[in-house]
Amino acid sequence: MTALKLALQKSGRLSDDSLALLKRCGLNFDFPKGRLIVPCDDFPIDLLMVRDDDIPNYVGNAACDMGIVGYDVFREHELTVNNDRNIVKILRRIGFGRCRLSIAIPEKFEWQGLESLNNKRIATSHVASLKRFLKESSINASVIEMSGAVEIAPGMGLADAICDLVSSGATLRSNGLREVAKVYESEAVLIAQGNESPLLQTHLDRFLLRLDGVLKAQGSRYIMMNAKRQAVADISRVAPGLSEPTVMPLAGTTDRVAIHMVAAENVFWETLEKLKAFGATDILVLPIEKMME
């Protein structure tokens, strides 16, 4: 049977989350160390374990059907590809690997806004993204390409500033750098070329249905509580993106009922406090594993 080829980062920040997500989509695979192509037992998908930078090209030239990469890697490809056949598109944003591409400067740099970057040298491994940002901001700076360890460039006198991925900011701080401008936010994305054969498209649609179920469930919560029957209308307006509540009788009482509902977003303490203010008791908030409409 022809299987879809899905490229994943072999080892790096996206690897564990990518595999965990696929498991949640019901894909079963065994992972002998060092193996580069891993077939799934019960779904027509083969996993290809490669370096993340190569994934957009593999997808673009149809060596693979889909890939999971950081938006930053996708964007670099999108800005540099000059052959229509190699264009790839984002099918889904998948939420993990969140970070931002930011410009950072050493403490001694006198910052007066983006104009301070004029005639300066900026080190980065995201050359195309940085160049686009500088052009859009009408800044004239030289871009110095580095393949990694960008944060050490100012200390070594190679650059005046850097443009790199940041999540907590701890790496920047430990190198005496300060974040001053954001180029864009990034998260993992599922990419594809978008012209599959009808057979592969059927597999892809089936996979996307599962993925959407998992992504939707991830953000959603199941809320259960008891409350007075008259409070049902108020309560169902409290939590974000609530579906119509299920209202059930409670044994031994006529005025109190059990209310169950699904909230499309995470439920915060403030929401529970509001529910309580409407007289709700025994409130339980549960994660949802899978969801399909």
Q: Which does 128 bind (CB under 5 to 8 A by kind): ligand ATP, Zn ion, none?
A: none
Q: Which is nearer to ligand ATP, 52 or 160 (CB)?
A: 52
Nearer to ligand ATP (CB atom), residue 14 or residue 117: 14
Nearest alpha-carbon partner for 91 in 2, 1, 6: 6
Give me the least distance between CB of 148 and Zn ion, in Å please.
8
Minimum Å gap between C-beta 53 and Zn ion is 4
Cβ proximity to ligand ATP, 72 vs 160, nearer residue: 72
Distance in angstroms (rounded) separating the CA atoms of residues 142 and 109: 16
Which residue, 52 or 76, is less far from Zn ion as judged by CB? Answer: 52
C-alpha–C-alpha distance, residues 172 and 176, integer Å: 6
Minimum CB–partner distance for residue 271 and Zn ion (Å) = 40
The tokens for 2 are 């022809």
Give exposure, 215-254, as e/b (b: 16+ Cβ within 10 Å): bbbbebbbbbbbbbeebbebbbebbeebeebeeeeeeeee
Size of the site for Zn ion (CB under 5 A): 2
Site string for Zn ion, 46-85 (x = CB under 5 A): ------xx--------------------------------
Residue 216: partners with Cβ closer than 8 Å, 6 or more residues away: 264, 291
DSSP 114: G
Kindly list the residues in this chain that would bind ligand ATP in the complex (CB under 6 A).
Answer: 9, 12-14, 51-53, 70, 72-73, 97, 99, 165-167, 186
Residues that bind Zn ion (CB under 5 A): 52-53
